[in-house]
Amino acid sequence: KLYKIMMFFAIIWMLSSVGDLGAWCLTFGWVIPTVHAITYVFLLIKIVTTVDVIAHIIHIEARLRMISNLIQSCYTCTEMCPLGQLAETVRNKNWLYSDENGAIPHNAKERAIDTVEIKRITKCYVLLTEQVMFVNKMFGFRILLNTLNLLLDMVKILNLAIRIAMGSQRTLYYGQGYNFLPGISGLMRFLTCVCILVSLVYQCEQVYQQKQQVVNVIDHFLVNKNPGT
């Protein structure tokens, strides 16, 4: 998954940077766009920072999923709570009784939860908390600055593209019919920034949903099962 994200960002950065450089070279010559090309390096640094954060977020999501699967495995084979006469309300809900692939396993035999399973859950939880602390320490302020910088870039790029489209921004070779190219390449860079922010938000949302899954499984475990057996 991480390799696909890296390849995706590498491709869109290459296309947007080369396209934008070529568009400005056709409209302003080679000197000014070559000096301005340092902005593409800055964009690459922002992409690398975002990918680094996404890599840690993916690891956090994987550990949350592992904790959820371990608790869910304990849920399916733990004795029902003897208190109350109400039937288990989630018996027909596939999300709680299905595995990672969505398959419903056969009825598991009731057994006691051994110490090995508890150790696995504890180890996953310790690794999860350590990684969350590391991400908060190393990327907390950097994520804020990186996001604000991307938003400012999006405003500047969109403003320039609109000015070129309206004709208020004239280029060096205005009469040769290439004036629209920087506007199109600017929109490509704008979409690149949008993809960076959307990818980061999407991965954070995946972690939040996985956290909610863990909470839901624990809630059903405590209500419907007898953890002491």
Q: What is the pLDDT of residue 227?
A: 58
Residue range 177-226, pLDDT digits in tens: 667 788 888 889 999 999 999 999 999 999 998 888 888 887 777 777 66
Q: Which residues contact 191 (CB under 8 A, 6 or more apart)?
A: 12, 16
Q: What is the pLDDT of residue 174?
A: 53
Residue 113 has pLDDT above 90, yes or no: no
Domain annotation covers residue 140: yes
Domain annotation covers residue 61: yes
Q: What is the pLDDT of residue 101?
A: 54
E runs forming strands in 160-228: none
In angstroms, the Cα distances linking 61 to 96, 143, 154, 168, 197 are 18, 18, 29, 48, 18
Tokens of 81: 């709570």
User: How many C-beta atoms surround the C-beta of residue 3 within 10 A?
Assistant: 7
The SS3 assignment for 180 reads coil
Domain annotation covers residue 43: yes
Q: How confident is the model at residue 25 (pLDDT cuts 50, 70, 90)?
A: confident
Q: How many domains does the chain have?
A: 1
Backbone dihedral angles phi then psi of residue 172, each to the nearest 5 degrees: -65, -40
Q: What is the pLDDT of residue 106?
A: 46
Domain annotation covers residue 229: no
Domain annotation covers residue 91: yes
Among 68-77, 166-175, 202-211, top mean pLDDT goes to: 202-211
Q: What is the pLDDT of residue 222?
A: 73
User: Which domain covers residue 198, as residue numbers?
Assistant: 2-224
Domain annotation covers residue 132: yes
Tokens of 62: 């994987």
Residue 108 has pLDDT above 60, yes or no: no
Domain annotation covers residue 21: yes
Q: What is the pLDDT of residue 8?
A: 93
Task: Look over the chain and give the mean of its residue pLDDT values, rounded to a whole number.
Answer: 78
Domain annotation covers residue 192: yes
Which residue has tokens 């907390």? 140
pTM of the model: 0.75
The more confident residue out of 57 and 30 is: 57
